[in-house]
């Protein structure tokens, strides 16, 4: 708890020092604002528990906010059944923010609280609690003179604040956890094209996961996404934009005592639709994702749907 209080205090101090910094990604002449940050709503940072959608939003250049993120999966009840009958629900409520330190460098942070549930033949199983803290530095690598093209990169770390339950890895989905129990590291790259009322974001990130104290290591993860935005309405105070795109995730095998575990690797591809709106300093957004392809945990887990909604305040 002392660590959490210290981290929150540091973030608040940074916010107070960063209010006067303006992000050059703001194009005020057409009121279409896009920023880059890591929207990493991580249910557990592994296998069928991650909801990372990369860098994307139509928000103010700097903000703090709250986001709700829900994921639904179908899994095998146990190793002796063929059908996917078990419903698993990953729910996350997270505090997040993006704070500029200079014109080119920003810090992104998210602190999740998870409340997960899976329905088994023996009864419902629920876990809830704080998750792992995500921190990332985002640097603007390139910005064209006309501001149509922008390239940003990021390096991040996941701090293991969430509880890792060793008993949980014996189930069909070892990702049914509050945290990985490990320090994990991320590199990300984001390209943005923006002109008039249209914007396109293409991003990719890769997470290297390390072994935790229980000698368990979740597989490394690669995410990629492409999202198009169109501003339907907007003026100096109000913006409303629709968005659509695709998102993919690829997971390597988990390991225990450095031995690869079967039926832990997989991949999934989603289509997504959503909107984002802002009024003065307030922003609201929502998104729904449905799988076009899913083959998680060697086919033992099937992705069904994802939904998110957030409210942010510009700082």
CB 37 within 8 A of CB 139: no
Looking at residue 35, its pLDDT comes to 40
* pLDDT greater than 60 at residue 39: no
Looking at residue 1, its pLDDT comes to 52
Q: Name the residue with higher pLDDT: 239 or 21.
A: 239
CATH of domain 40-314: 2.40.128.130
Angle subtended at Cα 56 by Cα 19 and Cα 135, rounded to the nearest 5 degrees:
60
Mean predicted confidence (pLDDT) in 223-240: 92
For residues 21 and 99, give the distance between their C-alpha atoms in angstroms, rounded to a whole number.
9
* pLDDT greater than 60 at residue 166: yes
CB 100 within 8 A of CB 152: no
Q: Name the residue with higher pLDDT: 100 or 3.
A: 100
Q: Sign (positive/negative) of CA torsion 161, 303, 255, 39?
A: negative
For residues 93 and 118, give the distance between their C-alpha atoms in angstroms, rounded to a whole number.
18
Angle subtended at Cα 276 by Cα 270 and Cα 278, rounded to the nearest 5 degrees:
165
Looking at residue 83, its pLDDT comes to 86
CA dihedral defined by 16, 96, 265, 184, rounded to 10 degrees?
20
Which of 227, 229, 266, 264 minimizes the C-alpha distance to 247?
227
Q: What is the pLDDT of residues 267-282, one digit of tens each?
A: 999 999 999 999 999 9
Angle subtended at Cα 120 by Cα 160 and Cα 82, rounded to the nearest 5 degrees:
105
Looking at residue 79, its pLDDT comes to 66
Q: Where are the alpha helices (DSSP H) in the chain?
A: 2-18
Confidence of residue 171 (pLDDT cuts 50, 70, 90): confident
pTM: 0.84
Q: What is the pLDDT of residues 87-130, one digit of tens each?
A: 999 999 999 998 999 989 999 999 999 999 999 888 999 999 99
Helix/strand/coil for 1 = coil
What separation in angstroms does the CA of 29 have from each of 231, 236, 275? 13, 9, 21
CA dihedral defined by 225, 71, 219, 122, rounded to 10 degrees?
-160
Domain-wise residue ranges, the chain? 40-314
What separation in angstroms does the CA of 255 have from each of 92, 175, 187, 219? 26, 13, 22, 7
Q: What is the pLDDT of residues 134-151, one digit of tens each?
A: 999 999 999 998 889 999
């Amino acid at each position: 708890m002392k660590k959490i209080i210290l981290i929150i205090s540091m973030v608040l101090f940074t916010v107070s020092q960063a209010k006067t910094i303006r992000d050059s990604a703001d194009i005020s002449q057409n009121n279409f604002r896009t920023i880059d940050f890591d929207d990493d709503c991580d249910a557990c940072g592994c296998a069928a528990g991650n909801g990372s959608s990369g860098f994307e939003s139509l928000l103010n250049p700097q903000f703090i906010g709250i986001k709700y993120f829900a994921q639904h999966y179908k899994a095998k009840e146990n190793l002796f059944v063929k059908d996917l009958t078990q419903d698993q629900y990953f729910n996350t409520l997270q505090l997040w923010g993006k704070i500029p330190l200079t014109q080119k460098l920003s810090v992104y942070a998210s602190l999740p609280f998870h409340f997960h549930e899976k329905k088994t033949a023996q009864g419902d199983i629920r876990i809830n609690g704080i998750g792992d803290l995500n921190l990332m530095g985002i640097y603007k690598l390139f910005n064209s003179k006309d501001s149509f093209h922008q390239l940003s990169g990021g390096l991040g770390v996941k701090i293991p604040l969430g509880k890792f339950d060793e008993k949980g890895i014996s189930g069909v989905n070892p990702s049914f956890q509050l945290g990985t129990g490990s320090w994990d590291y991320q590199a990300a790259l984001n390209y943005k094209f923006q002109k008039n009322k249209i914007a396109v974001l293409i991003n990719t990130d890769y997470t290297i996961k390390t072994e935790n104290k229980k000698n368990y290591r979740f597989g490394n993860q690669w995410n990629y996404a492409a999202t198009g935005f169109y501003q339907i309405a907007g003026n100096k105070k109000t913006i409303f934009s629709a968005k659509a795109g695709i998102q993919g995730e690829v997971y390597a095998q988990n390991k225990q005592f450095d031995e690869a575990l079967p039926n832990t690797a997989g991949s999934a591809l989603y289509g997504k639709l959503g909107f984002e709106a802002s009024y003065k300093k307030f922003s609201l957004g929502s998104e729904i994702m449905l799988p076009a392809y899913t083959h998680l945990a060697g086919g033992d887990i099937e992705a069904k749907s994802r939904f998110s909604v957030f409210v942010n305040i510009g700082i």
